[in-house]
Amino acid sequence: MAIAASFSFRSIDAPPFLSHTRAASASFDPKDPHFTLNLPHYSLRFSLKQLLFSISSKTNHVRTSRTASEIGGAFSSSSGIPPEGPPTGSGGGGGKDGGDGDDNNKEEDEFGPVMKFEEVIREVESRGARLPADMFEAAKSDGVRRLIVLRYLDLQASPWPLSAAIKSCSLLRNRMLADPSFLFKVGTEIVIDSCCATFAEIRKRGNDFWAEFELYAADLLVGVVVDIALVGLLAPYVRFGMPSSSRGIFDGISSACASLPSSVFEAERPGCKFSIQQRIGTYFYKGVLYGTVGFVCGIIGQGIANAIMMVKRSVHRSEEDIPVPPLVKSAALWGVFLAVSSNTRYQIINGLEQVVEASAIARRTPLIPMAFTVGVRFANNIYGGMQFVDWARWSGVQ
């Protein structure tokens, strides 16, 4: 028996004060387990099982599951660019012995050889650049893949302010090393969300838009923070350095979290696989992170909005004033919404983007994965806004 639903929604996934509506429908048939989402001008149909097993092992935007301790502290990469030897442990186990040589040859053909310390220093000095401390230690220890070295040198030579951010912010640097399109994805998310929010706010507030501009601005700024978190928390990243040698309980938890894939559908590489348990663990771990971000941003954003509303009403009261939304309840709604709905949707988006990026046609035409990112994230924003309206009404926040 197929299950179907229709919706009326607002065109945004993050701030809440929106009213622009459209129609959409979704259906799921247990006998033929595909999820179909029908939106104006969009129709998405996919199988989660097919998505899980169709992710290509050749994409260069994914991470090996090897920890730094498993490779002698040299290099552990979320871009799927491994060191010389095969992985051995917590990432889900190594490959079969018979295929190690072929796997290493394929990796070298695709990502270049492992550069020794002297080669790395020579390349860096020829560009007049300097390696950050963690990359320097990795190169000194066992070397770094040539692609990573060249990619870093290109990034640090970028125009300001990107070059300064690459040199000073390891979080951005490591994500850009793993996925050069990371900033494009973040920018796409922010632009789509902000445009939808602005359009909806203008329609909702009408002639009062400029009089209530501070509410819109506070909402928009918090929305940007949420957008960055939504993309960044699931993005693959390159990690350098040795883990802590301490055996305390917190170090054990940290090590276990570090062994998880960046997202549920993170691609696998030859000789390095993630277990189903690790992928399930990633979903709940990222859900906790998303929920924390949602609650904190909800407290800040709704707190600012409530403070502005109360200050205005102390000066001028009107019978048309709406009740001040409950602060903690609104923040809790945002936390639960991001942990459950946003976490699920963005995990799926990451998997879909990896499938497209690994395809042969995308390698020949780079604009195709970029266009797909824009389209799928726009559809997701609409669907997320639609869901939030329903959740807010069910919870009594709106």
Beta bridge partners of 39: 42
pLDDT at site 104 = 61
What is the rounded average pLDDT of the residues 196-200?
87
pLDDT tens per residue, range 142-192:
788 888 899 999 999 999 999 999 999 999 999 999 899 999 999 999 999
pLDDT tens per residue, range 269-310:
644 578 899 999 999 999 999 999 999 999 998 898 888 888
Find the range with the poorest average confidence among 66-75, 220-229, 347-356.
66-75
pLDDT at site 208 = 77
Query: What is the secondary structure of 47-68 as a DSSP string?
Result: -HHHHHHH--TT-TT------G
Structure tokens at 10: 């607002």
CA distance 285 to 297: 19
Query: What is the secondary structure of 67-97 as a DSSP string?
Result: -GGGGTTS-EETTS---SSPP-STTT----G
pLDDT above 80 for 250 = no
Q: For residues 231 and 189, is the Cβ–Cβ distance under 8 A?
A: yes
Residue 246: pLDDT band by 50, 70, 90 thresholds?
A: low
pLDDT above 80 for 83 = no
338 DSSP 8-state letter: I
- Nearest Cα neighbor of 11 from 394, 392, 388 is 388
pLDDT tens per residue, range 44-70:
555 545 544 444 443 443 333 333 333
CA distance 83 to 103: 12
Which range among 112-116, 127-131, 199-203 has the greatest average pLDDT? 127-131
Tokens 């050749």, residue?
Answer: 58
4-35: burial string, b at 16+ Cβ within 10 Å, e else: eeebebbbbbbbbbbebbeebebeeeeeeeee
pLDDT above 80 for 248 = no
> Which residues, 6 or more positions from 234, have their beta carbon under 8 angstroms from its beta carbon?
262, 263, 286, 346, 347, 350
pLDDT above 70 for 375 = yes
Residue type, 27: S
pLDDT at site 255 = 81
What is the rounded average pLDDT of the residues 218-228?
90
pLDDT at site 109 = 62
What is the rounded average pLDDT of the residues 68-76?
35
Beta-carbon neighbour count of residue 146 at 10 Å? 18
Stretch (H or E) spanning 114: strand 114-115
Which range among 2-6, 146-150, 362-366, 371-375 has the greatest average pLDDT? 371-375
Structure tokens at 232: 């960044």
- Nearest Cα neighbor of 215 from 193, 197, 240 is 197
Q: Determine whether 372 is exposed, middle or buried from the number of CB atoms within 10 Å of its CB (0-12, 13-18, 19+).
A: middle
pLDDT at site 192 = 95
What is the rounded average pLDDT of the residues 19-25?
45
CA distances from 73 to 70, 102, 135, 139 (A): 7, 24, 11, 10
CA distance 248 to 73: 20
pLDDT at site 97 = 44
Q: Positive or negative CA dihedral for 392, 396, 397, 398?
A: positive
